[in-house]
């Protein structure tokens, strides 16, 4: 069963084949469930001209914000710009191409890409700048705009546990965009907190089947808290 073993030992192996100008879809929401070590490796590789698809772009000194800082991202498809001053600066200065997409639409565009659905209609965004240049159709008296699916060369995904075969379980809200991202790329790389032997995962608990996953690596994670809110006593 050696051919089914998707474990790799180094981040160099995990991201082998990633080159300039590629598209990456990256899991995570804020700093929750982001593949932080894979992102750090992309930074170290120095690849340029990337198109990155992710809910947001990390913060200034962590996550995808590191790639922004090094000018490695050419185009960003995201639903949220806040919490990252450098993202805002590059957007307003025209240094960074940005396609803002409603959050639910972004999730569905990624999911559709993984399901082999080329496009779909949604009412979200009709009558706003989001709809400019897009096909509009009427269904049961309501107007919908056509949104194209998203696929990528690489998916960078953060899981909780995986087995040797690439079956993945996510933990609580760290699931977010990760399962959809895992299905929407030619090469899917998952970093996890623990790798277990085949058969150790309860089949009903698996979120991403190994058929979608190409490489699995175990990492160590900082698990930053994006915002700390305290209550006065």
Instruction: Show pLDDT as tens, one digit a residue, over the chain (233 residues).
Output: 455 999 999 999 999 999 999 999 999 999 999 999 999 999 999 999 999 999 999 998 899 999 999 999 999 999 988 778 899 899 999 999 999 999 999 999 999 999 999 999 999 999 999 999 999 999 999 999 999 999 999 999 999 999 999 999 999 999 999 999 999 999 999 999 999 999 999 999 999 999 999 999 999 888 777 777 778 76
CATH number of 86's domain: 3.40.1080.10
**pTM of this structure:** 0.93
Residue 81 lies in a domain: yes
Establish if 93 belongs to a structural domain: yes
Q: Which secondary-structure segment (H or E) carries 41?
A: helix 36-45
Q: Could you give the 3-state DSSP secondary structure of residue 199?
A: coil
127 domain-assigned = no
Note whether residue 198 is domain-resident: yes
Are 65 and 40 a contacting pair, CB within 8 Å? no
Residues 6+ apart with CB under 8 A from 40: 11, 66
26 contacts 188 by C-beta, under 8 angstroms: no
Distance CA 66, CA 64 (A): 5
Determine the structural domain holding residue 84 and report its residue range.
2-117+150-218
Count Cβ atoms below 10 Å from residue 178 Cβ, excluding itself. Answer: 26
Query: 39-82: per-residue pLDDT in tens?
Result: 999 999 999 999 999 999 999 889 999 999 999 999 999 998 87
Report the 10 Å Cβ neighbour count for 156: 33
> Is 32 contained in some domain?
yes
Domain membership of residue 30 (yes or no) is yes
Residue 134 domain-assigned? no
Q: What is the number of structural domains in the chain?
A: 1
Residue 194 is assigned to a structural domain of this protein:
yes
């Amino acid at each position: 069963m050696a051919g089914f073993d998707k474990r790799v030992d180094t981040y160099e192996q995990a991201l082998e084949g990633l080159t300039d100008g590629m598209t990456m879809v990256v899991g995570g929401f804020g700093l929750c469930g982001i593949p932080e070590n894979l992102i750090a490796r992309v930074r170290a590789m120095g690849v340029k001209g990337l198109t990155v698809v992710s809910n947001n772009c990390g913060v200034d000194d962590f996550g995808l914000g590191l790639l922004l800082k090094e000018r490695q991202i050419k185009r960003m498809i995201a639903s949220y710009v806040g919490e990252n001053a450098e993202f805002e600066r590059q957007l307003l200065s025209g240094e960074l191409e940005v396609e803002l997409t409603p959050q639910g639409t972004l999730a569905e565009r990624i999911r559709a890409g993984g399901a082999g659905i080329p496009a779909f209609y949604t009412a979200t965004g009709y009558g706003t700048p989001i709809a400019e240049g897009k096909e509009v159709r009427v269904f049961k008296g309501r107007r919908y705009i056509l949104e194209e699916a998203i696929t990528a060369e690489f998916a960078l995904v953060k899981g909780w546990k995986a087995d040797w075969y690439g079956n993945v379980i996510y933990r609580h809200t760290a699931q977010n965009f990760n399962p959809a991202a895992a299905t929407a790329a030619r090469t899917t790389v998952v970093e996890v907190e623990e790798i277990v032997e085949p058969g150790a995962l309860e089949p009903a608990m698996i979120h991403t089947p190994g058929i979608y996953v190409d490489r699995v690596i175990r990492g160590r994670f900082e698990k930053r808290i994006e915002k700390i809110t305290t209550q006065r006593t």
